[in-house]
Amino acid sequence: MNGVKERELINEIRERNIEKSSGLRKNVLMSEFTTFRVGGPARLFFEPEDENILIEVLKLFKEYDVPFQIIGNGSNILVRDEGFDGAILRIGKSPNEVEVSGNNLNAPAGVLLSYVSKLALDNGLSGLEFASGIPGSVGGAVFMNAGAYGAEVSDIFKSSKILYLSNFKIEKTDKSKMDFSYRHSILENEDSMPTGIVLSAEFELKFDDKEKISERMKDYNSRRIAKQPLNLPSAGSFFKRPEGNFAAKLIEDSGLKGLCLGNAAVSEKHAGFIVNRGGASASDIIMLMNIVRETVYDRFGVMLEPEVRIIGE
C-alpha cells in the first residue's frame, strides 16, 4: 500500500470527522482477531459502527486505491505473518438488536452464532441448534453457508441485507438468489474477498419445545467437545470435505495425525484440524497444510481444498 495514499486517506477520514465511528486503528496485530491466534499486523484496521460509515469507508478505499479484506469473527481465516498491507474491515459492531418476530429471527451480521442460537432457544425456536458451537458471526456463516451435524445456514435462511461491492448498493437478497451449496454462497469469489458484505440475515425457524431444542444443542456440543481439539487455537476443519470422502479420514489414513511443524500440528484428536500448539507462525501452518495436501494427493489422488481463507501476500 502506498504510504502517501495512506496518509491522504487518514487525513480525509479526520477531516470528515469519522475517525472514531469508522473504528480506525493502525498496525493492528491480526493474531488478536483470529481464532488461530496467529497473523501479523494489518496496516489499517476499521470497524465501522453503522452501514452509512461502512459505505463511506468503502468509497474512500476506492478513491485512495486501498486494498482491503473483510472479516467477521476471524474463525475461518489465517493471516500471514507479514500481516496485511492494506485495510482490514471488521464487521463486528452491531448497532441494531437481534429481532425475533413469530418464527423469524433477524440478526445483524456481526452478532455471534452462539448468541443467536441461544436467543432462538429462549424463544422456543428450532433450526439454529447446529450453529450453537460454531465460533463465527452471522455474516461469516452466511458467506460460506456454515453447517454442522447435517444442517447448514441455507436450511433456515430467508433473506439477507447485502451491501454489494460493485455498486455500493444495499439490496435485500432472498434465498433463491444466494446459490447456496456445500460451504458456498453467491458471495464467494475466486480470491478470499466476498463480492458483497452481509449486513444482516433473516432466518425462518420452527416453533418447538425448549427442552427438545436444548437437548439437541447439548448433544451437538458434547459431540464437539469429545471429537474436536477445542482446547487449542484453530480455525476449525482446515479442509473442505472432498466429494464422497472425509478430509480427516484421508489425512489420518495417510499417517499424518499428530504431525508437527514448528508449533503447528495436525491435531491428534481430529486430523481435519490444524492446531496452534502455542506460538505457531502462519508460515508453519501453511507449510504443514502443503505437506498434508501433497501427501494425501500422493496417497489417494485427492487434492484437499482449504476451507480456511488465507489473507496476506
Among 31, 253, 144, which residue's Cα sits nearest to residue 131?
Answer: 144
Task: Pick the catalytic residue from 22, 117, 237, 281.
Answer: 237
Task: Please select the residue that binds ligand FAD; options are 106, 117, 137, 276, rule is CB under 6 A.
Answer: 137
Q: Which among 8-16, 143-151, 207-215, 249-257 is the span making contact with ligand FAD, rule CB under 6 A?
A: 143-151
Strand 84-90 vs strand 68-71: parallel, antiparallel, or unpaired? parallel
Going by the DSSP 8-state scheme, the letter that residue 175 receives in this structure is: G
187 and 91 Cβ atoms separated by less than 8 Å: no
Calculate the CA 112 to chain-centre distance: 11
Task: Please select the residue that binds ligand FAD; options are 83, 127, 136, 306, rule is CB under 6 A.
Answer: 136
Among 129, 136, 152, which residue's Cα sits nearest to residue 217?
Answer: 129
- Residue 77, interface with ligand FAD (CB under 6 A)? yes
Query: Is 12 among the residues known to form the active site?
Result: no
- Residue 109, interface with ligand FAD (CB under 6 A)? yes
Q: Which of residues 88-107 bind ligand FAD (CB under 6 A)?
A: 91
Among 143, 1, 174, which residue's Cα sits nearest to residue 71?
Answer: 143
- Residue 306, interface with ligand FAD (CB under 6 A)? no
Beta bridge partners of 197: 163
Task: Pick the catalytic residue from 160, 293, 307, 309.
Answer: 307
- Residue 267, interface with ligand FAD (CB under 6 A)? no
How many other C-beta atoms are found inside a 10 Å radius of the C-beta of residue 223?
13
Can you give the binding site for ligand FAD, defined by CB under 6 A?
35, 70-77, 91, 109, 134-137, 139-141, 143-144, 146-148, 187, 192, 194, 197-198, 228, 230, 234-236, 309
* Enzyme catalytic residues: 183, 237, 307
